[in-house]
Amino acid sequence: MKILIIENEVYLAQSIATKLSELGHVCEMCTSTRDAIKSNNYDVVLLSTNINGQDFNPVIETFKKSIIILMVSYISNDTVSKPLSAGAKDYILKPFMIEELIRKINHYQEYEKLKRRNKAYEKYLTHSFASLDSEHNFDNLQLPLFIFSPYQKHADSFAFEYAKKKNLPLHFITLSDPKAINEIESITDNSLIYIIDFQTLKKSERKALYSSLENKKAIISSTDKIDDETYDIIEIKSENNIFDEGEILPIEDYVKFIVLNYQHKFPDTELSKKLGISRKSLWEKRKKYDIVKKK
């Protein structure tokens, strides 16, 4: 990591830089906030709040995308509370062990990494579920709850949206994992458990699952119809009902579905090639099924 040390005690700054450099970090030092804000390309900023007559707000604003850790000799409103409110991440009290400083740096580095990853996952899920055009009503739902949908993504959308609406941490478990039951039992009651692949369980194995679900907030999904009335069951159908019958599709229905849903993604030459038909046949099928190609 690239680390900027803003400290007017040169000996202390050099000592910190030496120890961090030994761990593979690239360190730069400056003694004033005025010099510090000339560049903002740092992963971590170690900011001493003991520099007299310095305004720390420009530094915090300049490095708002970096991990800012305050180095303080005493705790006060000016040295800790105000900088933390302005955007600094944490503080460490002088004198400190370098190991404690490294622990804080590693902690916030991992936190920022997880935050970015979580943001990417949320963006991906929003994009992935956007095509479903499904709205769910979560009023008066009793958990544990079972969902039957031949299209797995519908159940996924329901579970993730429920967790977001109820502001619950989400645990994902597949019943194809032999350790699934033990994992369910170990999860605290204030979390939502999303369990898939119920259809893989034999009837003789369901009793253990039901026992593990006691007092748990859980949503369990199956791509096969559920013939058990132990818990409430919701059935979610896709807009394309041809996939809700659980049967092999007739060729004509399959072609119609593909043309309707993918003609905006592929040019006719490529679409007809993927279907194994000519462009003329593709045109004839549009005419037959009264499909209008959007331009």
pLDDT (tens digit per residue) in 154-211? 899 999 999 999 999 999 999 989 999 999 999 988 899 999 999 888 888 899 999 9
Q: Please check whether residues 96 and 6 belong to one and the same domain.
A: yes
Is residue 154 within 8 A of residue 134, CB to CB? The reply is yes
Backbone angles phi, psi at 222, to 5 degrees: -140, 140
- Taking the C-alpha atoms of residue 35 and residue 180, their distance in angstroms, rounded to an integer, is 56
Among 211-215, 221-225, 283-287, 291-295, the least confident range: 291-295
Given 218, 241, 264, the domain boundary residue is: 241
Collapsing DSSP to helix, strand or coil, 49 comes out as: coil
The pLDDT value recorded for residue 39 is: 77
Q: Please check whether residues 161 and 233 belong to one and the same domain.
A: yes
Q: Please check whether residues 8 and 99 belong to one and the same domain.
A: yes
Does residue 160 sit within a domain?
yes
Q: Please check whether residues 40 and 73 belong to one and the same domain.
A: yes
CA 52 centroid distance within chain:
43
Domain count across the chain: 3
Does residue 124 sit within a domain?
no
The pLDDT value recorded for residue 239 is: 57
Does residue 217 sit within a domain?
yes
Please provide the average confidence, as pLDDT, over all residues in the chain: 87
Q: Please check whether residues 236 and 257 belong to one and the same domain.
A: no
Q: At what angle do helices 268-275 and 279-289 cross, to 10 degrees?
A: 90
Answering whether pTM is above 0.85, one says no
Q: Please check whether residues 225 and 274 belong to one and the same domain.
A: no
The pLDDT value recorded for residue 204 is: 87
Q: Please check whether residues 69 and 33 belong to one and the same domain.
A: yes
Structural domain for 105, as ranges: 2-109
Does residue 8 sit within a domain?
yes
